[in-house]
Amino acid sequence: MKTPLNLYRKLDWPLIITYLILVFIGWISVFASVYDEEHGHILDMSQRYGMQFIWIVTSLVIAALILFAVNPKLYNVTAWALYLFSLLLLIAVIFVGVEVNGSKSWFMIGPFRFQPAELAKISTSLALASMMSSYNFKLKQLSSLLKTGLTVLLPMALIILEKETGSALVFASFIFVFYREGISGWVLIFGLLAITLFVLTLSFTPFVSLIVLFVISVIAVALFSKRYITGVALLAISLPILIYSPMLGRLSIFSFASSLSNVEWLSVAIAPFFIYLVYKTIKERTSYLKFILISFTASVILIFSVQFFFEEVLQDHQRARIENLLGVTEDLQGAGYNVHQSKIAIGSGGFAGKGFLKGTQTKFNFVPEQSTDFIFCTIGEEWGLLGSAALIGLFVFLIIRILTLSERQKDSFTRIFGYSLASVLFLHFLINIGMTIGIMPVIGIPLPFISYGGSSLWAFTIFLFIFIRLDLERWR
Amino acid sequence: MGVDLKNKKNILILGLFIVTVVMLLQLFNLQILDEQYKITASNNAFRYDVRYPARGIIYDRNGKILVGNKTAYDIMITPYEVKDLDTADLCEIFSLNIEDVRKSLADYRKNRRRIGYQTLPFVKQISPEQYSIFLEKAYKFQGFSAIPRTIREYPYNACGNLLGYISEADTAFLRKNPSYRRGDYIGRTGIELAYESLLKGEKGYNIFLRDVHNKVKSSYDDGKYDKAAVPGKNIVSSIDAELQQYVELLMQNKVGSVVAIEPSTGEILTLVSSPGLEVAKLASISKHYNEIVNDPMKPMFNRAVMSPYPPGSVFKLVNGLIALQEGVIDTTTTYPCNLGYKVGRGIACHPHPSPTNLTTSIMMSCNAYYANAFRLTIDNPAYPNVTSAFIKWREYVESFGFGVKLGSDLPGELGGVLPSTEGYNRIHGINRWKSLSIISLSIGQGELGTTPLHLANLAATIANRGYYYTPHIIKSVQDTTIDADFSQRHYTMVDTSNFKKIIHGMYLAVNAPPGSGATASRVAVKGLDICGKTGTAQNPHGKDHSVFICFAPRDNPKIAVVAYLENAGFGATWAAPIATLLIEKYLKGVVERKELENHIINSNLLQSIRR
């Protein structure tokens, strides 16, 4: 098959140029993060930056192959074969993989290491795109939901078995793809509400969470029933009562119940609202009331079970990381060490940074994993707020560009694949940068195109360039 | 909802923008607003070495050291700095198993990402001798350093259970107590636990400078900014070490408790739970831990405060006091006794002259007298029914501290058992019980559980004629005052005048001439005016428990004692001699009843113990 040369004039250069800039930033950041005077040259092959140069060159070769040598129709045809192949690799690595930092997720081939989870991200995206773009596929059918869900959960489960929880988490980002392809926005909103209440309960108390939940619920009822003034008035009257409910309760005539705790008094105070909600729902049978009632009830259950989940279900180190993130405990020598050092490094960068190779925090080994997961520290320290914001800007541009191009596709296969790419990139971006600046728990996943490592760079290059090549097809 | 697809993309982009704004705000906060991170960044060139404080010393009431400190060293490892390690040499110095060391080194390597640049404990509690050998060769061991620590030393061979032991904080403890760090030692039992916050002291640090290669160069600014460790506060306990040691000797090969209290202060002079922990094992508790835990005699279990027993006849004193206070008997009331109380199922009694009055009933421990007195108390027509009279009786008993925790500073103290109307309603049916149903209470049997500490407190209460101080083992703390509650009088609901009436009976129980029927005339000591009451407590575990409570002298009592020996038989046979030998030792300084002393020391009562 022949591709007319003039088709390549339509290549999406903004994406390619952004990619090249990011990769270049990655290279010099790896250089800066492990720099010392003995090995001064950036092409020194005994050092990580020398190796990163090789990864970059090979990535460019791979990118070129994808653009010019592979028939893009193959992706849809071979999607499932590739998917099954990566599942096999994921299973195999559990048995023959080498253990790195406590997780068994790497193949060792000669001097090279390769993580099948990286491949699984791409093949799962292809498989999803292939399935969801097929004729008369409707996401809202239960069987379709199950099939797509299973396609994502299977590799996720295998990766969790390898104890590589961070990579497994990345697969959660496909929820955005499902959202785009038809799942109700409620799923996202509920997810967000659950996470908010979870964090509030752990950082503060169930008391605070309950009040927040009450406020959200009242606002929701007011918005849907369009009775804004009533809503505001209700909040203004009831909030003080709720906040002071333990004190009011103890002063009141109910002295027999003086042993109730604060939360229990609050529950008593909220009960009338709840009963009213149940009454209204039964009487009016409107769908929004049902929604609010169900989510209110589910949230209350969540709030009261968080403590249990946290104490009994999570493992020690996971609990430590979350507690540290939320500031519940400040353990600067244990679980909080990495993040604390990382924040110091970034904070010391100031507005304009200390300048290229002038960083001290990242070079003295205070920050661990400074060339891989914590590479953002080097950028924050040496380039300051300006550099950090610029890098964040590049990622935002990259993701929006991919979304925009996806929407322009006539072929839904490419659109779904593009959304998958954007979602995976977004989650990496959010978690990686988030953890270095202390707004996300420490989850060891790399910053795409920037972090040191061939496996990750190759994978993201392949991922991106398949999309760029697929995008060309719409000009035919 | 009728949202078209174009909007979904925009909603996702909106989400992306929100995330971005949060990130930029946090970056702005870290890099522009928060000064803390800039300052800490320069501080990062410093290395902070922890200086551990010496734990507070525990003295006895006469200034003898019960727990002291000696120096030991912890060897620390900074895995990141370890280079060219001669493992064999290292193992030789600290006499370690080379396989174990290889394994832990491999562990460090495996977890190096998590460990980062941290310093971790490697070997603990190295002796000063080993430390000096290590110091000579220290240049060979890059990445290893030593931190001086103090460990516990026990010069006096007594009070194992009271003092308690310390051990390293574990993960569960650290999670609950965020102010502690891994490697800290904490009190686990006894005084070490009860006064942990005073004894532990405050950690300090030494600041060292690092060079570019991350090696420690020198002390920063000649140690000007170092923080010295603040040693823990010294504690004077109320224990009399010599007396304690003496009673531990008396109690060898016997199971039970002896508690002695100074009535005028509530200070515990001696508290023995036998069998107990030897102090030699405290110092290296981890080595002996399994052996101690698996010992069927449970040496860690502090019977004196954790074991509720039936009080037996000593409880007659309480019932007598209540009956006097309620006005249902007076000193002239007499009851006949012909080998027991014959109403209902009845209560048997031993042969003694009849009838008895209040004084002789105590002296001879007559069961019938107290069965009568108790029925009068519970069936008192002044109350509308049995239940309300019983509730009143219960309030009286509780005012002596029974059935509740006394609030001492001994860890693990239990409240014991005091029956309630609900309980009896359950057993007999609501309002289907009467004084006769619960007649066992009259002689201290039935649904009663009292710890030896409760009974010692009873002795002290009677010695004080009506009030007690919460028993405690702390006398004073360096630079601090002790809990004010310990100097608070707790009055019972019985008047002082009534206490005087029963004390005469207690005096005669010990000091009446032999042949008069007095239960404890064998243990009288001339000139000490001991007042006491025997008890022989029936129990479901075999032979009767031997009980004796007493105080001395009669006027201005200096000491109140309980001895409670499990499955030893008559109160007069074992408990009374031990309690009075203690008093003799404390008040006279020497024991003249050598024959009795030898008999007690050499007796072994373990074979009658049912486990």
Tell me the pLDDT tens digit for each residue of A31-48: 888 776 555 566 777 778
Residue with tokens 């010599």: B242
Rounded to the nearest integer, the mean pLDDT of chain B is 87
Give the whole-angstrom CA distance, residue B424 versus residue B434.
Answer: 10
- Residues 6+ away with beta carbon under 8 Å from A164: A103, A105, A115, A117
CA proximity to B243, closest of B471, B594, B583, B592: B583
pLDDT band at B2 (very low <50, low <70, confident <90, very high): very low
| Predicted pLDDT at B127 | 84
Rounded distance between C-alpha atoms, residue A190 and residue A192, angstroms: 5
The fraction of chain B above a pLDDT of 70, given in percent, is: 93
Q: How confident is the model at residue B256 (pLDDT cuts 50, 70, 90)?
A: very high
**B17: which chain A residues are within 8 Å (Cβ-Cβ)?**
396
Closest CA to B569 of B543, B550, B601: B543
Measured between CB atoms, does A329 come within 8 Å of chain B? yes
3-state secondary structure of B495: coil
Sign of the torsion formed by the C-alpha atoms of A28, A30, A34 and A38: negative
Q: How far apart are CA A458 and CA B117, in angstroms?
A: 31
Our CA-based measurement puts residue A341 at a distance from the nearest CA of chain B, in whole angstroms, of 8
List the beta strands (DSSP E) in B144-300. Answer: 144-153, 166-168, 185-187, 204-210, 216-219, 235-237, 256-262, 267-274
Neighbours of B481 (CB within 10 A): 9
Mean pLDDT of A425-434: 93
**H or E, element range at B535:** strand B531-539
Q: Which residues of A touch B8 (CB under 8 A)?
A: 179-180, 185
CA distance B54 to chain A (A): 23
Which is higher by pLDDT, A250 or A39? A250
- HSE toward the beta carbon, residue A415, CA cutoff 13 A: 16
**pLDDT, position A88:** 95
* pLDDT beyond 50 at A96: yes
CA atoms within 13 Å, Cβ hemisphere of B180: 20
- Reply yes or no on whether the pLDDT at B3 is more than 50: no
Q: Give the closest of B8, B16, B24 to A179, CB-based.
A: B8
Q: Is the ipTM of this complex over 0.85?
A: no
Residue B405's pLDDT band (cuts 50, 70, 90): very high
Name which of B20, B178, B181 is nearest A392 (Cβ-Cβ).
B20
Range with the largest mean pLDDT of A188-202, B243-257, B293-307: B243-257
Residues of A in contact with B182 (CB under 8 A): 333-334
B141-172 burial, b at 16+ Cβ within 10 Å, e below that, comes to: bebbbbbebbbbebebebbbbbbbbbeebeee
Q: Which of the two residues, B476 and B209, has the higher pLDDT score?
A: B476
Rounded to a whole number of angstroms, the distance from the CA of B200 to the nearest CA of chain A is 20
Which of A120-124, A222-226, B381-385, B506-510 shows the lowest mean pLDDT across its residues? Answer: A222-226
Query: Could you say which of B5, B26, B37 has the minimum Cβ distance to residue A344?
Result: B37
pLDDT confidence tier of residue A463, bands split at 50, 70 and 90: very high
Bridge-based pairing of strands B58-59 and B235-237 is parallel
Tell me the Ramachandran region of residue B254: left when phi exceeds 0, alpha when psi lies from -120 to 50, beta otherwise.
beta
The H or E element containing residue B50 is strand B46-51
Whether B216 and B208 have beta carbons less than 8 Å apart is answered as yes
Q: How many Cβ atoms from other residues are within 10 Å of residue B123's Cβ?
A: 21
The mean-pLDDT minimum among A267-276, A464-473, B28-37 falls in B28-37
Question: With contact defined as beta carbons under 8 Å apart, do B262 and B457 qualify?
Answer: no
Residue A64 has pLDDT above 90, yes or no: yes
User: Taking 60 as the threshold, does the pLDDT of residue A167 lie above it?
Assistant: yes
Nearest CB to B31 within list A101, A338, A347: A347
For B:254-313, CB contacts with A below 8 A are none
Arithmetic mean of pLDDT, A347-356: 85
Query: How close, in Å, is residue B339 to chain A by CA atoms?
Result: 51
Tokens of B281: 């094992």
Q: Is B212 an interface residue toward A (CB < 8 Å)?
A: yes
Tokens of B559: 């000491």
Measured between CA atoms, the residue of chain B closest to residue A432 is B23
CB < 8 Å from B in window 67-106 of A = 99, 101-102
Tell the burial category of B118 from Cβ atoms under 10 Å away from its Cβ (0-12, 13-18, 19+): middle
Residue B41 and residue A347: Cβ atoms within 8 Å? yes
Compute the residue count for chain B.
Answer: 611
Residues B49-60, mean pLDDT to the nearest whole number: 87
Which backbone phi and psi does B592 adopt, to 5 degrees? -95, -20
CB atoms within 10 A of CB B216: 15
A315 touches B: beta carbon within 8 Å: no
Q: How far is B170 from chain A (nearest CA, A)?
A: 13
Interchain CB contact of A288 with B (< 8 Å): no
Position B601, amino acid: I
Count of CB pairs separated by less than 8 Å, A with B: 120
What pLDDT, on a 0 to 100 scale, did the predictor assign at position A442? 76
CB B284 within 8 A of CB B293: no
For residues A318 and B489, the model is more confident at B489
- Is residue B8 less than 8 Å (CB to CB) from chain A? yes
Which SS3 state, helix, strand or coil, does residue A19 take?
A: helix
A156 has a pLDDT exceeding 60: yes
Residues of chain A numbered 160-219 and touching chain B (CB < 8 Å): 176, 179-180, 184-185
Give the integer Cα–Cα distance in Å for B534 and B516: 15
| C-alpha distance across the termini of chain B, in Å | 74
pLDDT tens digits, B481-509: 888 889 999 999 999 999 999 999 999 99
Is the CB of B217 inside 8 Å of chain A's CB atoms?
no
User: What is the pLDDT at residue A449?
Assistant: 95
Q: Is the pLDDT assigned to residue B45 strictly greater than 70?
A: no
Least Cα separation, residue B358 to chain A (angstroms): 44
Query: What single-letter DSSP state applies at residue B69?
Result: E
CB contact under 8 A, B13 and A400: yes
- Give yes or no for residue B44 having a pLDDT over 70: no
CA-based nearest distance B1→chain A, Å: 8
Q: Do A176 and B30 touch (CB under 8 A)?
A: no
Contact call for residues B473 and B408 (beta carbons, < 8 A): yes
Tell me if A341 and B38 make a contact (CB, 8 A cut-off). no
- Nearest CB among A330, A365, A403 relative to B13 is that of A403
- Strand partners of residue B491: B467
pLDDT band at B597 (very low <50, low <70, confident <90, very high): very high
Q: Which of A348-352, B110-114, B445-449 shows the lowest mean pLDDT across its residues?
A: B110-114
Yes or no, beta carbons of A180 and B181 under 8 Å apart: no
CA gap B610, B65 in Å, rounded: 37
Mutate to test the interface with B, among A388, A391, A410 (most CBs of B within 10 A): A388
pLDDT at B1: 38
- When pLDDT is averaged across residues A360-382 and rounded to a whole number, the result is 75
Query: Which of B1, B6, B7, B12 is the mutation pick for testing A, counting most A CBs within 10 A?
Result: B12
Minimum mean pLDDT among A55-59, A88-92, A346-350, B325-329: which range? Answer: A346-350
Q: Which domains does chain B have, with CATH numbers?
A: 47-237 (3.90.1310.10), 241-572+582-608 (3.40.710.10)
* Separation between Cα atoms, residue A313 and residue A306, nearest integer Å: 10
User: For B543-571, how does the pLDDT look when each residue is reduced to its tens digit (9 = 90+)?
Assistant: 899 999 999 899 999 999 999 999 988 98
CA–CA separation, A147 and A181 (whole Å): 14
What pLDDT is stored for residue A21 in this prediction? Answer: 96
Residues 357-416 of A with CB under 8 A from B: 360-361, 364-366, 368-369, 380, 384-385, 388-389, 392, 396, 399-400, 403-404, 407
User: Average of pLDDT values for A9-19?
Assistant: 93
Q: Residues near A310 by Cβ (< 8 Å), separated by ≥ 6?
A: A202, A319, A322
Better pLDDT: B587 or A165: B587
Quick one: which of B327, B29, B602, B311 has its CA closest to A437?
B29
* pLDDT score, position B313: 92
B562, B258 Cβ separation under 8 angstroms: yes
Report pLDDT for B457: 96
pLDDT of residue B258: 96
Contact check, Cβ <8 Å, B37/A179: no
Angle at B256 between CA B252 and CA B259, to 5 degrees: 95
Chain B residue with CA closest to A320: the answer is: B175
- In this prediction, residue A301 has a pLDDT band, given cuts at 50, 70 and 90, of confident
Distance CA B476, CA B454 (A): 23
Q: Å from A293 to nearest chain B CA?
A: 19
B11, B31, B182: residue with CB nearest A351: B31
3-class SS of residue B144: strand
Q: Do B9 and A437 touch (CB under 8 A)?
A: no
Residues in chain B with CB shorter than 8 Å from the CB of A185 are 1, 3, 8, 11
Instruction: Answer whether B8 sits within 8 Å of A330, measured CB to CB.
Output: no
- Contact state of B113 with A438 under an 8 Å Cβ cutoff: no
